[in-house]
Amino acid sequence: MKQLKIGEKIATLPIIQGGMGVGISRSSLAGAVAKEGGVGVISTAQIGYDEEGFEKDQAACNRNAIQKHIRKAKDIAQGSGLIAVNIMVALKHYEEHVKESVKAGADAIISGAGLPMELPAMVPEESGTKIAPIVSSMRAARLILKMWAHRYNRTADFIVIEGPKAGGHLGFSREQLADIEHLNYDEEIRNIIECKKEYEDKFQKKIPVIVAGGIFDRADIDHAIELGADGVQIASRFVATEECDASVAYKQAYIKAEEKDIRIIQSPVGMPGRALENDFIRAVEKGRQPVKKCYNCLHKCNPKEVPYCITKALIDAVRGDVQNGLIFCGANVGRIKEMTTVPELMRELAEA
């Protein structure tokens, strides 16, 4: 497999481990992936959920945890691979999370769940931290690249294209997701790759493209590369590893899951999401789950109106309450049958 080159930064394997919040991908998982030569990604979404004082001051605990987990991940990686962070645009403290990540020496910031229009203003080029938007359409890619070029005279260091089979928050309508088999997403990937070439010429730099969403094995990786991608992003498969930061019960929920257990739900973020059906999902489908405490996580969240508190649901799940919490997953979760380790999984994915 070819190396993934992002400017002067190099990952020996073109595999990015997708960011998963709350608490699913932190230093243990990201560090292990980087150690094997990939790009390990820490999600900053309520990253400090288990820090002392979190119930009283989420913002401070999250800031401290961002610093702590980036340092820990780099220690684990021992100089191999890259450590990136995934920061959702929808977060109330988005800019704080970006600046803390830069200060902690993150190799890259990957940003989605909204359009990261102002990201270049928050990340000085001289910091060495690379920036990448997550997009699901050529329209979004073109809009971001055009805005960054016009407003900041800058372009993306790489682009993550997230397809309809991804886990968590999805940049597609419910109608598109209901007819996923007839969605010709390969064509959209080709179009996005084509549209970024204008900005490669303008800024005289290579903009690698990473394909995400439903990538499961080496055949999927090879297909993405054939489409013109420079690498892939994989998330769900890394949950069923010993190094994943989630509880054993959470990992077992993935291993036991079948395709029929997957549901498309509405997230308080304002986007559809893909998750495993459980008691929590069934309760949400019957009616709104009153929010008893606001954790100040989402910029546009009104606790009196949202269908449920996403922070509480995700924290409950990561701690092991797999019936009463929210378990995001990718479309191929039913194919995951056993626990493995990050080194074993990376070897499997790298072997031709």
Q: For the chain, what percent of residues have pLDDT higher than 70?
A: 100
Please check the confidence at residue 296 and state whether its pLDDT lies above 90. Answer: no
Please check the confidence at residue 196 and state whether its pLDDT lies above 80. Answer: yes
pLDDT band at 299; cut points 50, 70, 90: confident
Q: Encode pLDDT of 212-248 as tens digits.
A: 999 999 999 999 999 999 999 999 999 999 999 999 9
pTM of the model: 0.96
Q: For the chain, what percent of residues have pLDDT higher than 90?
A: 88
Backbone angles phi, psi at 283, to 5 degrees: -65, -40
Q: What is the mean pLDDT of residues 79-91?
A: 97
Q: Encode pLDDT of 341-352 as tens digits.
A: 999 999 999 986
Residue 352 has a pLDDT of 64
Residue 175 has a pLDDT of 87
Q: Report angle CA 173, 178, 183 to the nearest 5 degrees.
A: 80
Q: What is the mean pLDDT of residues 143-163?
A: 98
Q: Encode pLDDT of 241-286 as tens digits.
A: 999 999 999 999 999 999 999 999 988 878 899 999 999 999 999 9
Interatomic CA distance for residues 253 and 240, integer angstroms: 9
Look-up of token digits 């945890």 = 65
Selection from 328, 319, 255 nearest residue 88 by Cα: 328
pLDDT band at 333; cut points 50, 70, 90: very high
| Tokens describing residue 229 | 């991608």
| Tokens describing residue 136 | 């699901």
Interatomic CA distance for residues 248 and 250, integer angstroms: 5
Q: Encode pLDDT of 38-66 as tens digits.
A: 999 999 999 999 999 999 999 999 999 99
Selection from 271, 343, 352 nearest residue 81 by Cα: 343
| Domains of the chain, earliest start first | 4-246+338-350 (3.20.20.70), 248-335 (no CATH)
What's the chain's average pLDDT? 96
Q: Most confidently modeled of 120-134, 179-193, 302-316?
A: 120-134
